[in-house]
């Protein structure tokens, strides 16, 4: 069911500062910032030869990333995103096995313009999982 690791997402308190670290200090190829109001975040992608790192900054106090940063003010790993061929089939298989899908269970459009779902971290060894249809 799982395909490639699409990205590892890091919550950051200051997106511009995080971009400078990855671009200027580490010499990485970093995308332009993208605002995703539906998800309550601004994001950039650090493009690597084998995957991406997504840097997430909250758009406001109601963002799920704001709540994460209240618990971890310096930031940290927020989720891992895996690719799947058919997101609804993956959802149905996972829910029939007892996994919980966050939100209303319907895919939303993610940062890459593709359908995404998030899976409850308590069902996956304490890690929030994002599935992205490719």
Q: What is the pLDDT along the chain (134 residues), one digit of tens a residue?
A: 999 999 999 999 999 999 999 999 999 999 999 999 999 999 999 999 999 999 999 999 999 999 999 999 999 999 999 999 999 999 999 999 999 999 999 999 999 999 999 999 999 999 999 999 99
- pTM of the predicted model over 0.85: yes
| Sign of CA pseudo-dihedral 121, 69, 53, 33 | positive
Active site residue 130: yes
Q: Which two tokens stand for residue 59?
A: 């758009």
Report d(CA 101, CA 103) in Å as an integer. 7
Domain that holds residue 85: 5-133
Here the CATH number for the domain that contains residue 9 is 3.10.180.10
Question: 57, 83, 130, 132: which one is catalytic?
Answer: 130
- How many domains does the chain contain in total? 1
């Amino acid at each position: 069911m799982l395909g490639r690791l699409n990205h590892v997402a890091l919550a950051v308190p200051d997106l511009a500062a995080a971009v400078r670290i990855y671009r200027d200090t580490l010499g990485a190829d970093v995308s332009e910032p993208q605002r995703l109001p539906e998800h309550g975040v601004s994001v950039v992608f650090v493009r690597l030869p084998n995957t991406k790192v997504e840097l997430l900054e909250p758009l406001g106090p109601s963002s799920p990333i704001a709540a994460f940063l209240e618990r971890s003010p310096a930031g940290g790993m927020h989720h891992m995103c895996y690719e799947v061929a058919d997101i609804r089939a993956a959802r149905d298989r996972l829910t029939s096995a007892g996994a919980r899908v966050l939100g209303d269970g319907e895919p939303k459009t993610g940062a890459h313009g593709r359908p995404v779902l998030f899976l409850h971290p308590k069902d996956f060894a304490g890690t929030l999982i994002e599935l992205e249809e490719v």
